[in-house]
């Protein structure tokens, strides 16, 4: 196959898959299942990367000392937690019936306190990582 025909072929394949998802009954559910499988593979890949990094740098991690190693693990765990709860702490969309259909309106939860809490916790995680980095560079 010539190089000139590869890109239109790939675009055609993507459009055919999109049309199948849109027009075949149950296609949306199949797409959600496929997306969930991709996210699972991505999560496994991130976990494997973390394992590899730990095995590669475990001597340096133990050289940090218990306090800074705990700060590092806590900051990483807090980062994952913040990523998981970002939509709940920032804002939500609420569907409201209006003439002509449904309008989605941005609704702040807790009167904006969620955003402040999220950014405060993110700042705390960054501060902990910077503290660990400075200790590592001084070592």
Q: Do 108 and 70 lie in a common domain?
A: yes
| pLDDT number for residue 125 | 96
Total domain count, the chain: 2
Q: Are 93 and 126 contained in the same domain? A: yes
Are 132 and 75 in the same domain? yes
Angle in degrees, CA 23, 24, 25, rounded to 5? 115
- Quick one: 132 and 73 in the same domain? yes
Range of the domain at 53: 1-57
Consecutive H or E run containing 132: helix 113-138
- Give pLDDT tens digits for 38-71: 999 999 999 999 999 999 988 988 888 899 999 9
Q: What is the Cα Rg of the chain in Å? A: 23
Q: Are residues 71 and 136 in the same domain?
A: yes
Residues 139, 62: contact at Cβ < 8 Å?
no
The residue behind tokens 């800074």 is 68
73-128 pLDDT, tens digit per residue, is: 999 999 999 998 887 777 766 667 778 777 777 666 666 777 888 899 999 999 99
Q: How far is CA 135 from CA 58, 60, 66, 67, 104, in A?
A: 16, 11, 12, 11, 48
Residues 7-43 have pLDDT tens digits of 989 999 889 888 887 788 877 787 788 889 999 999 9
Tell whether 138 and 81 lie within a shared domain. Answer: yes
């Amino acid at each position: 196959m010539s190089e000139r025909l590869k890109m239109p072929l790939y675009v055609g394949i993507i459009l055919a898959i999109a049309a199948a998802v849109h027009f075949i009954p149950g296609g949306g559910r199949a797409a959600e299942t496929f997306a969930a499988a991709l996210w699972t593979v991505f999560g496994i890949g991130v976990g494997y990367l973390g394992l590899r990094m730990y095995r590669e740098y475990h001597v340096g991690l133990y050289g940090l000392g218990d306090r800074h190693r705990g700060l590092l693990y806590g900051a990483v765990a807090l980062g994952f937690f913040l990523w998981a709860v970002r939509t709940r702490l920032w804002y939500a969309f609420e569907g409201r019936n209006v003439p002509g259909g449904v309008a989605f309106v941005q609704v702040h939860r807790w009167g904006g306190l969620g955003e402040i809490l999220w950014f405060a916790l993110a700042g705390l995680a960054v501060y902990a990582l910077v503290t660990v980095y400075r200790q590592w560079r001084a070592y």
